[in-house]
């Protein structure tokens, strides 16, 4: 059972967020035959990050989240830079899809 995952880390190496394919594939037969390729696509809205430099760590394992064999792990596989930010509190900001304020008149 393959597990493909990633972390986004800040300049201090702190994992800000990440995910794996484990829950998506846990009830499926995701066996990969030798010589075949597997591609995982993660689609998400990036949280607002502070201005600074960030890195992406990627990994491939086999098994479950609790009991697995790590096959490949690449720290700092890719870098990204955020030149400016519009929030000032916390490690990252959550993009608000909607904010409503109502008054009781």
pLDDT tops 90 at residue 89: no
pTM above the 0.75 mark? yes
pLDDT tops 80 at residue 93: yes
Domains belonging to the chain, first-starting first, are 2-93 (2.70.50.60)
Q: What is the predicted pLDDT for the residue at 8?
A: 96
pLDDT, one tens digit per residue, over 50-64 is: 999 999 999 999 998
Backbone angles phi, psi at 41, to 5 degrees: -115, 125
Nearest to 10 by CA among 47, 44, 46, 49: 49
Q: What is the predicted pLDDT for the residue at 19?
A: 94
Range of weakest confidence among 55-59, 74-78, 91-95:
91-95
Unique residue bearing structure tokens 């096959």: 71
Mean pLDDT of 79-94: 86
Secondary structure (DSSP) of 61-100: EEE-SSSEEEEEEEEEEEEEEE---S--SSSEEPPPS---
């Amino acid at each position: 059972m393959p597990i493909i995952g990633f972390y986004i880390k800040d300049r201090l190496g702190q994992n800000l967020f990440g995910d794996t394919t484990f829950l998506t594939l846990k009830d499926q037969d995701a066996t990969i035959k030798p010589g075949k390729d597997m591609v995982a696509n993660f689609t998400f809205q990036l949280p607002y990050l502070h201005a600074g430099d960030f890195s992406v760590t990627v990994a491939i394992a086999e098994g479950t989240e609790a009991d697995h064999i790590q096959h490949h792990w690449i720290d700092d596989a890719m870098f990204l830079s955020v030149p400016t930010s519009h929030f000032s509190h916390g490690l990252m900001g959550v993009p608000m899809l909607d904010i409503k304020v109502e008054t009781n008149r």
